[in-house]
Chains A and B, each alone.
Chain A
Amino acid sequence: MAKVYIYPGTSLILSDLVARFGHQPLGSALAVRERVQTPGLDSPPLQITPEDPKKGLRYAAVEVPSGVRGRMSLFGPQIEEAEAGIIISDADLSFGCMGCARTNELVQFLLHRRDIPLLELDYPCNDEEGVRFVAAIKEFLSSLPGGVST
């Protein structure tokens, strides 16, 4: 089983397919859950405190907006941990965690810079594209360590 970073990190489709084909999706929900379950933190709504944008300095300089650095404190460690990644390139309507275009550019850049298998595709717009989309993801995931090739 491989840890697969999904982009957008909020994607239901990618989260489902990665888990369905036997791997662990790394996305926004897990990063948020970790904070929500940390005892003693009380910084609603996302339990992100002013310390998090400072942690984000590991990925982006101080002149980068705090919202980018705060998001990077969620995604940066997951990108470092990822053994593979799937990127949906036209994910323009992803909000919240993936709602900042500048952060999203940085996330994709960091994924490309890591020497890990990456699959990039667009959202399907019809049945035929859906068939190809799912098949490509399955084939990609099957090629990863612990992947199921059937």
Chain B
Amino acid sequence: MSEAASAGGLPARPGVRPGTATKYVFVDSPDLTAADLALRAYEIAPAAQIKETCFGLMINGLEADVERLVKALRALDPDRIFVKDRGFPPGDERRCRANLGGARPGFYGHENEMRLIRYISSGLRALRDPKKADLLRAKPKKHDEPLSPDRLRELIEES
């Protein structure tokens, strides 16, 4: 379900009052769909505003309620559910695709990261896997060093 479809028909600028928060809860799992996630969210927190989006849900409510709901949803599939803050409440007409004509720029950023999210899931699973211990040390970003004269000499001699 698209953000446009899920955002339609809402009153102008709801849920912007201080003390409230909106979070994305995205899911990338063969066992759990966004619709499943929405059902569970309604069961856990009937008072929260919940909207399905392309990659999962948007939930809006008082900060403490949202935190509690996020914690409960994460527990459903911790390695494959991902959470992020959102500046706007769900369906805000300033950010809604239905009003903009096309997706807001941030959508493409999500789409890009969701292509990679399965690797993050693998990483999270590996944290609990003792067999992956050797792999767990990530190398810091490499800055290419210029070839030293000594190494160059070695290479020439080797060839």
Contact = CB atoms under 8 A, between A and B. Distances in A.
Interface of A: 8, 10-13, 15-17, 19-20, 25, 27-33, 35-37, 44-46, 89, 93-99, 119-139
Given A12-B24, A29-B85, A135 B136 contact: yes
Interface residues of B, number: 48
A24 to B, nearest CB: 10
Given A99-B105, A139-B137, 13 more contacts: A12-B110, A13-B117, A27-B85, A94-B109, A95-B109, A98-B109, A120-B141, A127-B118, A130-B122, A131-B123, A132-B138, A134-B123, A139-B138
A96 B87 contact: no
Contact of A134 (B18, B26, B85, B127): B127
Contact of A124 (B16, B105, B119): B119
Dominant SS at the A interface? helix
A15 B138 contact: no
A145 B70 CA distance: 24
User: Quick one: which of A12, A13, A28, A130 has the most chain B CB within 10 A?
Assistant: A12
A32 to B, nearest CB: 3
A126 B127 contact: no
A42 to B, nearest CB: 9
Given A27-B85, A28-B87, A36-B87, A95 B127 contact: no
Main secondary structure of the interface of B (DSSP, over half): mixed
Interface of B: 16-18, 20-22, 24, 26, 74, 82-89, 92, 94-95, 104-106, 108-110, 112-114, 116-124, 126-127, 132, 135-141
B112 A93 contact: yes
B16 A127 contact: no
Contact of A37 (B17, B114, B126, B138): B17
Nearest to B20: A37
A135 B87 contact: no
Q: Which 9 A-B pairs have the closest CB atoms?
A: A134-B123, A130-B119, A32-B87, A136-B138, A96-B105, A132-B138, A95-B105, A29-B85, A135-B136
Nearest to A41: B16
